[in-house]
Amino acid sequence: MVKFFARRVLFGILVMWVISVAVFVMFFVAPHDVARLLAGRQATPQTVAAVRHNLGLDRSLLAQYGSFVWRLLHGNLGFSYYNSEPVTHLLISRLPVSASLALGGVVLWLAIGISGGVLAASRPRSVADRTVTGLSLFFFSMPTFLLGLLLLYFLFFRLHLAGVDTFPGSGYVPLTSSPAGWANHLILPWFTVALSTAAVYSRLTRGSMLDVLGEDYIRTARAKGIGNLRLIYVHGLRSALTPVVTQVGVDLAILLGGLVVTEQIFGLPGLGQLAVLSITTRDLPVVIGIVLLASFFVVVANIVVDLLYAVLDPRVHVH
């Protein structure tokens, strides 16, 4: 177990390293002139040279890479080109919004996906099964931003016209100031983030559950006279969830993409909105900071998922 954990962590460090190299190459080596970009259109060659010197872009690539990594390891992501605020401050101030959206989204996506899949699998070919299968194909085909727009249009705007203001269309209320307002403002964004991925999970859970229910130990349990509910939820679900859990690790990267789109549509002041904003203002340090932070989350979450995987299914032998 310890060895397995160590290997996963090593691989995680490798991934982070590759990502940092990719970011470095993209931003500092790629054939474009950051200094020119920053100095502005009417800059004299002297200004451009000064900017280049200030950023350390006139040094050798190796030296640049060295200081890039050195600063990273010290948690220093540099300063925003736009308003000179430290990038770390910007990220921290926006993190709670994205974290709220992501956590709620994941909980909802797993809850809907797994319960839908179990419901479909426990009565194959029934009306419930067909409904779940049809709905999951529908939501699976729905791009996140389109779902967001449709939810905004029907559940916020049409209901608002009808005098029902259950679902706010934009804005964010911190959890600390009003838990109810927080949840209320996040309902539509949560569903936006969750539904298309939940569709994948209900299909996955259904398939995996059907496979498990065909296994010998389930027949044994049934022969011992265990009730249907206990059979499905206690004996079946546990091992049926293994492939589902593995998939969660892969899909976290997709989730982050969903955050960008959802925050944009619902006007949530999170990291995704900051990313899009920083791109329009060409604020490269902030973009780099967000990409690195997001990658870090994906890597860490994948390690956690792999450990969960081993804990969840007693049949998995960890080498």
Binding site for other proteins (CB under 8 A): 11, 14-15, 18-19, 22-23, 26-27, 30, 32, 124-125, 137-138, 140-146, 149-150, 152-153, 157, 207, 210-211, 214, 249-250, 253-254, 256-257, 260-261, 264-265, 275-276, 278-280, 282, 284, 287-288, 290-291, 294-295, 297-299, 302
| Minimum distance of other proteins from residue 179's CB (angstroms) | 29
Phi-psi group of 301: left, alpha or beta (phi > 0 → left; psi -120 to 50 → alpha; rest → beta): alpha
| Minimum distance of other proteins from residue 43's CB (angstroms) | 19
| Minimum distance of other proteins from residue 294's CB (angstroms) | 4
Smaller CB separation from other proteins, 176 or 280: 280
Smaller CB separation from other proteins, 202 or 302: 302
| Minimum distance of other proteins from residue 176's CB (angstroms) | 27
The CA distance from 306 to 147, in Å, is: 31
The CA distance from 225 to 184, in Å, is: 45
Distance, CA of 125 to chain centre: 33
Helix (H, G, I), strand (E, B) or coil at 259: helix
Please give the C-alpha separations between residue 207 and each of 70, 119, 210, in angstroms, as whole numbers.
Answer: 47, 12, 5
Smaller CB separation from other proteins, 123 or 174: 123
AA letter at 108: L
| Minimum distance of other proteins from residue 166's CB (angstroms) | 18
Decide if 47 contacts 33 (C-beta within 8 A): no
What value does the CA radius of gyration of the chain take, rounded to a whole number of Å? 24
| Minimum distance of other proteins from residue 214's CB (angstroms) | 8
Smaller CB separation from other proteins, 124 or 174: 124
| Minimum distance of other proteins from residue 48's CB (angstroms) | 17
Smaller CB separation from other proteins, 28 or 190: 28
AA letter at 265: I
Smaller CB separation from other proteins, 194 or 299: 299
Alpha helices (H) in the chain, listed in sequence order = 2-24, 34-39, 45-55, 61-73, 87-122, 127-140, 144-151, 159-161, 179-213, 216-223, 228-230, 237-266, 271-280, 284-312
DSSP string, 41-92: TT--HHHHHHHHHHHTTTS-HHHHHHHHHHHHHTT---B-TTT--BHHHHHH
Smaller CB separation from other proteins, 70 or 157: 157
Identify the CA nearest to 83 among candidates 276, 277, 283, 280: 283
